[in-house]
């Protein structure tokens, strides 16, 4: 998964006073908040099409010091050290379309274009008898192209009456239109020469969102399960190793937070999201036909969410989201700018 892991865009408005006189016909009630796209929010009104261009920047830095040797005392180490530093930057430009099919059903499609740039520096120790040395690895990699197109559907389950929250059922499917990690160019030793723009695996994510309006705020919570489909790669990466079956780790995803209306045009939101990602199992087949399966470690990706929104006019707003990683596996910073605008279709 492209993994990579983004904040929502929300715009709260003040509730209108109850009408005087004859009551209007009964309609599907919804809280006054725009779609919370990442976690599944209130649906696009029936017959409306929302076009949302967006630009996202993600930065992740890794500094790792590894010791190989013997610890005599807590302050005395005998052995060798290896140091690794990596800076990973990703720019994603995307166009998202959301169509309100009915008062309860919304369909969405997202087409991203990805540019990635990695700078890797490592100091690797070498040991030969009593003589120890080291050598440095300094590599710059990049990759760009179409990312993984995503399709989604959302359905409002209830009307939110009798002081109940609104429940939204969400289903998202991610394609493999981007170049996956086994589609990119490699040298004769199997070392990558460019970076992937997609995960390389189909995935399906069902989730449920709860929204609870408490004027002038709206509280939200979401829980979902990301299922990554197993695939048979059967691709030789060098003269000795062939990649067989790969089973990407699934993930449990939770998030919660609050959006607060500052005035009729501006709002502020804050929240937290956490992904519990299971390990990935990869089958390696040697030149002699023997195979082994190796598992990666599981990941915990947690981020603090902050967002700001300003409604320029009724059919257009500007939204800025910020994610700050709070676990070692999360990106350090993710900044997302969205400018959704709507138009009537029928």
Sketch the domain layout of the chain as residue ranges.
48-66+79-344
For residue 254, give every residue at least 6 positions away whose Cβ sits within 8 Å of its Cβ, in sequence order, or none.
221, 222, 223, 224, 273, 274
Give pLDDT, residue 257: 93
Fold of 48-66+79-344: Lipocalin (2.40.128)
Torsions phi, psi of 326, nearest 5?
A: -120, 0
Q: 319-331: b or e for each residue (b if 16 or more CB lie within 10 Å)?
A: bebbbebeeebbb
Give pLDDT, residue 8: 36
In the chain, what are the helix, strand and coil shares in percent, each to the nearest 5?
Answer: 0, 65, 35
CA 84 to mean position of chain CA atoms:
25
Can you tell me which residue has the tokens 């700018």?
A: 337
Give pLDDT, residue 134: 62
For residue 227, give every residue at least 6 positions away whose Cβ sits within 8 Å of its Cβ, in sequence order, or none.
203, 204, 205, 250
Tell me the pTM.
Answer: 0.82
Give pLDDT, residue 17: 37
185 SS3 class? coil
Rounded Cα distance between 175 and 98, Å, is 18
262 SS3 class? coil
Give pLDDT, residue 15: 36
156 SS3 class? strand
Residue 59 contacts residue 91 (beta carbons within 8 Å): no
Peptide linkage before 216 cis (omega within 30 of 0): yes
- State which residues of the chain have pLDDT below 70: 1-42, 64-84, 124-135
Give pLDDT, residue 11: 36
Give pLDDT, residue 339: 95
């Amino acid at each position: 998964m492209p993994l990579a892991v983004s904040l929502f865009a929300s715009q709260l408005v003040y509730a209108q006073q109850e009408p005087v006189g004859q009551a209007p016909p009964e309609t599907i009630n919804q809280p006054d908040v725009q779609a919370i796209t990442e976690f599944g929010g209130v649906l696009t009104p029936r017959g409306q099409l929302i076009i949302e261009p967006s630009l996202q920047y993600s930065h992740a830095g890794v500094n790792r010091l590894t010791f190989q040797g013997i610890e005599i005392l807590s302050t005395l180490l005998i052995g060798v050290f290896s140091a690794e530093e990596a800076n990973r930057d990703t720019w994603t430009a995307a166009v998202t379309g959301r169509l309100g099919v009915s008062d309860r059903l919304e369909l969405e499609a997202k087409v991203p274009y990805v540019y990635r740039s990695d700078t890797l520096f490592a100091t690797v120790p070498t040991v030969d008898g009593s003589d120890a040395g080291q050598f440095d690895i300094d590599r710059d990699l990049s990759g760009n192209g179409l990312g993984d197109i995503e399709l989604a559907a959302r359905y409002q389950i209830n009307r939110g009456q009798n002081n109940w929250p609104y429940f939204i059922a969400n289903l998202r499917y991610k394609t493999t239109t981007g170049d996956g990690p086994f589609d990119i160019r490699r040298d004769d030793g199997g070392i990558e020469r460019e970076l992937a723009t997609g995960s390389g695996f189909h995935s399906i994510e069902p989730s449920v969102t709860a929204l609870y309006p408490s004027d002038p705020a709206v509280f939200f919570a979401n829980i979902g399960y990301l299922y990554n489909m197993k695939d048979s790669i059967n691709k030789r990466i060098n003269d000795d190793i062939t990649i067989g079956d790969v089973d990407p780790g699934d993930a449990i995803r939770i998030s919660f937070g609050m959006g607060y209306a500052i005035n009729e045009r501006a709002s502020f939101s804050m929240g937290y999201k956490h992904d519990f990602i299971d390990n990935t199992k990869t089958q390696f087949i040697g030149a002699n036909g023997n195979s082994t399966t190796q598992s990666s470690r599981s990941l915990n990706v947690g981020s603090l969410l902050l967002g700001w929104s300003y409604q320029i006019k009724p059919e257009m707003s500007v939204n800025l989201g910020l994610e700050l990683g709070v676990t070692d596996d999360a990106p350090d910073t993710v900044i997302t700018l969205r400018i959704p605008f709507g138009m009537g279709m029928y």
